[in-house]
Chains A and B, each alone.
Chain A
């Protein structure tokens, strides 16, 4: 195991200064998520425009560096994407964290993929996978407009 792979500079930086850590004005969808084992929680706010594109996305919450960095990077990457594109990116990311070696989606640039792949270090730390995936599960809930609290224990 390699801590340096887990705590890459980009993770530490996003963890320390998370992007989009705020509440979107006039959000159209939102969802809460938590990790009951450790108490980490996020609340995702989503504003879709008339073309079903993500006009704005933001989050509130607290958690470890991995949780915060993952939410920070995720919110940056899905802005401007269409609803079905967001779903594709989420699925691709979760598949990568679960089992695949790389990201396959064509919707992200190589730079964006590289940034996202920084989170793949959690694969070696099964207890921390949930930190990386919490905001992504919560985003899915928000897209589905689910009133249920997304949980990492599904």
Chain B
């Protein structure tokens, strides 16, 4: 695969950012968008716009078909068994909130346990936290080990007879650890416990096969997959979507509304109340096509090469400390520099056009465990090159110079 060619498909790299070539190392936060995705939004609004699923005029029918085509594309992309197992949401956060809310309502009672991990993003903790108050449940944390991983053994250790659902990240947005989802799911199912996977970081970088993973719920963020903001996907096994109560009420999700009672619509409408992010859903289809055209296996291989190169280079750099050393790691490197706060690193790197993230990356539980208030993080996307990593390293050296470090 030709990265220079691929990079040309992203208009953001055509322009200088503050007089520098952009070295974008913040894809775990949000990825840049290829031209076909950007153009699709413009074209849809310019030539094809209508609301979906309601009116019978030409544009409405055409827009509905386009909208549903994305559902089918996602279904195929993640190998779900039914297109109605794909629910569009405003993001992965809403996808997890949907499950926490509806599963919580129906299946969680006082004293029940939700098992999550110390690696979780706030979006896979806070929605469950709400249930501590409303349902008096307990939240248990599978602990992270010295390598920055959560192992199957650790998960097993934390399962009790009160564990009602296990919620784990596929790929940590801080340490890069890839969790053994298939093994976790298989063990959990042997105990009759469903599993939700936060796939925000998994979906853009790993091959997804819902039949193979066999998880009950998988949350996807569109904007991290070279797609627009405002669009996410909840994959859920059909039995759950049929069984759980609706999430939000409104237009589009009902069958019949009477003064004395309301019946709800069939899947997938049941979970898509109100006017959805139509243009974004339609443009998201182009993101899927983009990923399919390159091939996720090629992306995985490319990002692994970048990761190995970066780990080697930064390990040699004095005073750079890489956080975690998981055996199975995705394209994320969090690091600290002795004597320079991550926010200062980020500001100084930015001056060279190197965009990274600094902070707790919405993982305060993990940072507390690590004893670090913040880390700096470089994360990769399909458009990154080894030159980007070299520039990262050079800018880190510049940082050290400004702070008078050797």
Contacts and interface: CB of A to CB of B under 8 A. Distances in A.
Instruction: Tell me the dominant secondary structure on chain B's binding face.
Output: mixed
State which size class the interface on A falls in.
20 to 34
Contacts of B347: 3, 6, 125, 127-128
A12 B403 contact: yes
B351 A1 contact: yes
B344 A66 contact: yes
Given A7-B402, A12-B403, A65-B341, A38 B18 contact: no
A16 B339 contact: yes
- Which of B18, B344, B351, B404: most chain A CB closer than 10 A? B344
B348 A38 contact: no
Given A64-B343, A66-B344, A128-B343, A39 B351 contact: no
Contacts, number: 54
A62 B402 contact: no
Given A37-B359, A39-B374, A63 B351 contact: no
Contacts of B374: 38-40
Interface in B319-366: 339-344, 347-348, 351, 358-360, 364
Nearest to B352: A3
Contacts of A12: 402-404
B402 A3 contact: yes
B360 A39 contact: yes
A38 B359 contact: yes
B367 interface: yes
- Which of B18, B339, B347, B403: most chain A CB closer than 10 A? B347
A37 B360 CA distance: 9
A97 interface: no
A128 to B, nearest CB: 6
A31 interface: no
Given A1-B18, A1-B351, A6-B347, A39 B364 contact: yes
A64 B345 CA distance: 9
A131 interface: yes
B274 interface: no
Contacts of B342: 64
Interface in A55-83: 62-68
Given A16-B339, A63-B341, A66-B344, A39 B402 contact: no
B373 interface: yes
Contacts of B403: 7, 12, 65
Contacts of A40: 343, 373-374
A62 B373 contact: yes
Contacts of B18: 1
Contacts of A37: 359
A128 B341 CA distance: 13
Interface string B203-224: 0000000000000000000000
B348 to A, nearest CB: 6
Given A64-B341, A128-B343, A3 B348 contact: yes
A76 B364 CA distance: 31
Nearest to B360: A39
A80 B365 CA distance: 40
Given A38-B359, A39-B359, A39-B360, A7 B344 contact: yes
Contacts of B367: 39
- Which of A1, A41, A65, A128: most chain B CB closer than 10 A? A65
A37 B342 CA distance: 13
Contact of A64 (B344, B351, B364): B344
B348 A63 contact: no
Contacts of B351: 1, 3
A21 to B, nearest CB: 14
Contacts of B360: 38-39
A39 B373 contact: yes
Given A40-B343, A66-B344, 11 more contacts: A1-B351, A12-B402, A12-B403, A15-B341, A38-B358, A39-B364, A63-B373, A64-B341, A64-B342, A64-B343, A67-B343
